[in-house]
Structure 1
Amino acid sequence: MDDFMSDFGSYIKKIRESKNLTLNQVALYSEISAAQLSRIENGKRGVPKATTIKKLSEALKEDYESLMRVAGYMADGNNLLKETSPQLTDKDEKDIAKRMEKIKEDLSNDDGYMLMGEPMSEEAKESILDAMEYAIRQATRINKKYIPKKHRDNQE
């Protein structure tokens, strides 16, 4: 398991508990489902998007940049880590958006996916979409590292 995933989740849980807040209270204040928050805290979900971290920072009354650092998005000195890793281009973002729309469409079909023989809840679908988007973004970035430099310019 990725260190950022478990470190970020346990950090959020520690903050929540230190403020004597229940999982449901933070879920309510942040507008994040309790199940999603539980998965974050237990490291069973990838590091959340920046928008989710923003909601958590507001709900927990914690510094957003501190949470972003713990999540691995920022290094000390407020430099975004993504600046040192391959950037996603506008084309990459469009390709990811198209893939996500197709996955969303597949999950929305009446004859769509079942989970252990039961129709999937909206929360389960949301979780799958979050995980898939994270995985696609990571795979795209990782793949860029291994594209020879002479071919990288042609991809932008």
Structure 2
Amino acid sequence: MIGDNIKFFRKKAKMTQVELAEKANISRSYLADVERNRYNPSFDTLKAIASALNVPISSLIGEEDAKNSNRDTQLPELTEKDERDIAKDLQRIMDSLESREGLMYDGEPMDEETRELIRISLENSMRLAKRIAKKKFTPKKYRK
């Protein structure tokens, strides 16, 4: 969306909303609403914002341009240690699910297919959670 792209390029230029609004000769509240995709700016407003950010208008309009150049939004890769931790935690969770007090369907134990589907779902969720946590809690000076 256009608002997301404006926000991305504003942050990349290390500008506040107030600074960009002043440079583009628009109000800060209007800029905030545009960044939240509440309003679609006119071509003249887009032109002013693009000029203030020193980017082509096509970068603000095209989703692909901002997303492809935005390495900061990509989640970090998992290390071997992260993979081992996930495997260990996954095995512990699966063992607890298969115990007598664990997960059962209508009093019946899980069949092999259900067990495998739950394992895959848990593993994907754990991987995503680990990557999000790494991004969120890694100090900026240590990010690549």
Flag whether TM exceeds 0.5 (same fold).
no
Q: Which has the larger radius of gyration?
A: 2
TM-score (norm 2): 0.42
TM-score (norm 1): 0.39
